[in-house]
Structure 1
């Protein structure tokens, strides 16, 4: 195979090259290894035109889940961050805990979107900083963060493959005490939104507010088609239109006649749509949001607990009773943690599994103790895809 020298003055001619065309159809993971074959291949694969063509010619696939350990009620962060790949290596999944070792300090992961990850300094910190990085090529940029946010605040990432055009959305929960003659104990809660634009490199506060009595939990900002979604502690999903800066609350799907109780849930993206994953005494239900404004959900997948136990007797014993008897709302017996591209990272007791909804297959990922957790409450989980996108121009 011939070597090709990259001519930066004639980047446009590269897309006619046979080697360029073939490599641009290869998924990201093998391309990262192919960069080491020769200087010519490294130049092609690192080229801006090639990266754009490869994004157009291949689908972005889920490569693994980032698991961020955290305390429920504490003003101090946990530094433990783990990465669980979805593919097995020699029959066993290897847990990685140095994925963000290229950053200058320990970080807390805030958001993941199309291969790009947003992190912040672990608090307390004398100089709290926000980082936007690509773990695939170990590139990162540092952003101004003024004023620094509270440990409980959420920052989400909206990214559409153009490194110079990403946005961050900072969500802050405000408590307003109303003291009136009718109800002196009434409390109002609402969310405010601040936006950072990478083109202007500035933060600004949006005029939009959203009244909501429930706080945010779990996945912290799932970006789909221009909208960010956050799961709340109640039966609603907070949604924010990044361009129009408008918010709404979407009620989660509720079965007819409330025929079963939800034990735990999470949200995620699959085939460009928002999905709600629900574990109940009846089993696992996966719902798809068909219409954003009419709040129309469709049940896409359902599997009862007895079937799980029958198909995987080595994994599960007396599963339904254990799910029903679990009264710990912060650490339920069966807890869906993250969902992307039809793959669900789910915690059952002290073990982690990956359930492939498309193949209807369950695989053991690792013991939760392998993540070296300092807290047994549910962690924050983010999907990660590998991408060649460069942040050098951001």
Structure 2
């Protein structure tokens, strides 16, 4: 099998020998290009208008998605204020590279969504598409669904908006093979029902379909008095997942419009320290990552209805410190010192995707490849122009060529 470097060398050779046009008239170029990852294709689109046209066609995008795997390429990161109605506008992007090498991790980019008509707050990411909203304060709040790879976007009206509500994105790659890309948004709204002297909190679900262009309220409700935290709306196999602060994961089947709660593997009260957790997806399964004084645990969910979890990876804090003494020191004692949930955690798992964990340790961000047991430092909080990063939104992102219907485009040449 040709390596990516060799494929690119062949393509540039044909261009240099002025045989591009003849090459374009065969199926060879089409077949070769469809086997190249998106990151390289974005550069190749700018070689000529002909190359841009072929790579942008729906037939090519369909073939490329079939011939290559959609893998993690980076993490989108944005801080937020919890105590005021103003949003932080800066969005950063931390590239990962591949699952076997994360040596490019130190690069971090800002102004990720500069192609949109206004500053935005990121809400969800799914298979290359990103859902975001207008920054507050704003006179006419808007929701955008966009693809940063090809700079295409769709604008949706947002009525009855609230700053801290959760909106998730559900999208399947095979839905992009028709005349337009189909996706759904799911909005989770807490409601309080008062009966006699008691109050019960429920969650309601509102959905938006790109096919109908309309919102509707689902008949489904879920009795849940906990807050949705971190990694909101992870989409796996037709089901959305939200981590809550009550040792449970909220789930919602998008097609059947059914929700249920899944207990986490180990409740927080069983630890001496205050643990920190996040959820993510790898190999098509929901994963739960927990960091406590006992170490770093990674479970994956085997059975939804029985809340059956299997431990996939474990490493004590002493082991992590011993293997990477240049990065870490006195980890266990630092973790044990946190006795108040209001204090910022010393170690905090932020996001997990395809076996790669992005975590904060003190004032630094690290990528941990659990499959290859490799940790690299990405950047510091100072690099991101922040001091604490107490409650950031962190979304895994994969580059894709998925097109959007009636989108506004910014060409690369």
Task: Give TM-score scaled by structure 2 length.
Answer: 0.87
Q: Which moved more, 1:329-338 or 1:373-382?
A: 373-382
Measured in 1, the distance between the counterparts of 2:267 and 2:250 equals 20
Indicate the RMSD between aligned Cα atoms, in angstroms.
Answer: 2.2
Measured in 2, the distance between the counterparts of 1:18 and 1:290 equals 43
The equivalent position to 1:381 in structure 2, one of 358, 374, 394, is 394
Alpha-carbon spacing, 1:369–1:378, altered in 2? closer, same or farther (3 Å):
farther
For residues 73-88 of structure 1, the aligned pairs below 5 Å read 73-87=83-97
Is the Cα contact below 8 Å between 2:181 and 2:405 reproduced in 1? Answer: no
Measured in 2, the distance between the counterparts of 1:209 and 1:89 equals 42
Deviation at 1:72, TM superposition (A): 2.6
Secondary structure at 1:371 match in 2: coil
Measured in 2, the distance between the counterparts of 1:55 and 1:91 equals 24
Measured in 1, the distance between the counterparts of 2:400 and 2:268 equals 42
Deviation at 1:283, TM superposition (A): 0.6
2:205 equivalent in structure 1: 193
Measured in 1, the distance between the counterparts of 2:83 and 2:316 equals 33
1:25 equivalent in structure 2: 35
1:324 aligns with 2:341: no
Q: Deviations over 1:158-203 (max 9, x none)?
A: 011225310000001112334x3xxx3x431111000000000000
1:37 equivalent in structure 2: 47
1:102 equivalent in structure 2: 115
Is the Cα contact below 8 Å between 2:77 and 2:395 reproduced in 1? Answer: yes
Secondary structure at 1:165 match in 2: coil
1:65 equivalent in structure 2: 75
The equivalent position to 2:355 in structure 1, one of 302, 323, 342, is 342
Deviation at 1:256, TM superposition (A): 12
Task: Give TM-score scaled by structure 1 length.
Answer: 0.92
Q: Deviations over 1:102-130 (max 9, x none)?
A: 11111000000001000000112101000
Where do 5+ consecutive residues of structure 1 fail to align? Answer: 8-13
Q: Deviations over 1:194-235 (max 9, x none)?
A: 000000000000011000010100111100010000000111
Measured in 1, the distance between the counterparts of 2:82 and 2:348 equals 16
2:10 equivalent in structure 1: none
Measured in 2, the distance between the counterparts of 1:90 and 1:259 equals 34
Alpha-carbon spacing, 1:234–1:101, altered in 2? closer, same or farther (3 Å):
same
Is the Cα contact below 8 Å between 2:131 and 2:169 reproduced in 1? Answer: yes
1:357 aligns with 2:367: no
Q: Deviations over 1:302-332 (max 9, x none)?
A: 0110011001111111011001112342521
Aligned residue pairs total: 381
1:267 aligns with 2:279: yes
1:124 equivalent in structure 2: 137
Deviation at 1:378, TM superposition (A): 2.5
Deviation at 1:258, TM superposition (A): 4.0
Measured in 2, the distance between the counterparts of 1:101 and 1:257 equals 44
Deviation at 1:374, TM superposition (A): 6.8
